[in-house]
Amino acid sequence: MKLVDVVDAHITSFLEARSEEMSTISPDLEHILAYANSMLRSGKRFRARFCYWGWRAIDRGSDGDPYGGVETLEDASPVIALATSLEVFHAAALVHDDIMDNSDTRRGLPAAHKAFERIHKDRSYSGSTEHFGTSTALLLGDLLLAWSDDLLTLALSNLSPEIVAATRSQFSTMRQEVTLGQYLDIHEEAAWHHHGEGERLERALRVVTYKSAKYSMEAPLLIGASLAGASQDQLGDLSSFGLPLGIAFQLRDDVLGVFGDSEVTGKPSGDDLREGKRTVLIARAEASMPESAKRVFNELLGDRSLDPQQIEVMQSTLRDTGALDEVESMIQHYADTAMAALETARITEGARSELRRLADAVTRRSS
């Protein structure tokens, strides 16, 4: 079986067990479980894949192998549980992110808070539809975080105290950084015009780094490698690869958020413009706009009612300023930096080969 299939099977088994537990509490929990199922049973599993290949990157040898030499996917239960934990954590982050961004869709379906608003409306419940939707989605995100920790605990059971401590430390660092990165994202949207243009690119890159880059690529690699007993030098090598790759990944995501095909991305075209996201793309464009054009652009940015024609005008502005080409160059630069670090990393050749393929996939993706 392929890694993605094994992780999918592990998620299915985990959700089935949780379904049995929840059914004994109340049938009213069914819609929470249904949405969790819809989120967790789709996705590219990038975090799971980087976690697994971070684990495989470390040459444990027959004497130091904490898994008794097991290499088949079906039997590599600790790292599969760990990879699954990361996927569940990612789902929690998406649920909370969609609330904060006021996003209507996720992967072509209603975002969690919108789905729960629909349930409230369809069942003619009393009270505020929006309050019910947001509150339920917040609780779903919290539940997914708890489930992620359950899976982390499962992954670390019966391992040495040193391995447990190192892996938990990496996981804890990831959780803190992505939470603080999410706040920085919210902060920049509110405080963007309180900072000079010379600061905005650096600030946007900091959001990219902590909200997405670290937890998407770097952290899964380090978490998987820690599970395998990686040395500090090996962790440093994987970080030198994973962090610039994660930045390239998020910059690609920012481009897709403005220029992506809605049929492919599962979100309306130009949705980041409606949400008013202050990305590297926007910072680059503003630095090249005349004041009059900048005023008009900023009046439109963040307007939830933007129509397709207005989106097209804003997209053209971003192209005309050269910002799109500059961000594409940045993506290539960070991808090249990551690949150079990968070639000298002190890791297994099998992992190096697979990480090359993954790096190409995450920087050239269309969704």
Last residue in a domain, options 102, 132, 158: 158
Q: What CATH number does the domain containing 76 carry? A: 1.10.600.10
pTM for the complete prediction?
A: 0.91
Residues for the chain: how many in total?
Answer: 367
Sorted by sequence, the CB contacts under 8 Å of residue 116 that are 6+ apart come out as: 31, 35, 132, 133, 136, 137
Distance CA 329, CA 327 (A): 5
Domain hosting residue 166, numbered range: 161-367
Q: Give, as one character, the DSSP assignment of residue 213.
A: I
Per-residue confidence in pLDDT tens, the chain, 367 aa: 789 999 999 999 999 999 999 999 999 999 999 999 999 988 889 999 999 999 999 986 644 444 434 455 555 789 999 999 999 999 999 999 999 988 888 877 899 999 999 999 999 999 999 999 999 999 999 999 999 999 999 999 999 999 999 999 999 999 999 999 999 999 998 888 888 888 999 999 999 999 999 999 999 999 999 999 999 999 999 999 999 999 999 999 999 999 988 877 777 888 889 988 899 999 999 999 988 889 899 899 999 899 999 999 999 999 999 999 999 999 999 999 999 999 999 999 999 999 999 999 998 877 6
Kindly state whether residue 47 falls inside one of the protein's structural domains.
no
Same domain as 175, residue 105: no
Kindly state whether residue 61 falls inside one of the protein's structural domains.
no
What is the number of structural domains in the chain?
Answer: 2
Same domain as 182, residue 297: yes
Last residue in a domain, options 131, 158, 185: 158
Last residue in a domain, options 158, 193, 225: 158
Q: CA gyration radius for the chain?
A: 21
- Going by C-alpha positions, the residue among 31, 352, 34 that lies closest to residue 221 is 352
Same domain as 324, residue 184: yes
Kindly state whether residue 206 falls inside one of the protein's structural domains.
yes
b/e for 287-315, b at 16 or more Cβ within 10 A? bebeeeebeebeebbeeeebeeeebeebb
Same domain as 210, residue 318: yes
Kindly state whether residue 49 falls inside one of the protein's structural domains.
no
Same domain as 76, residue 217: no
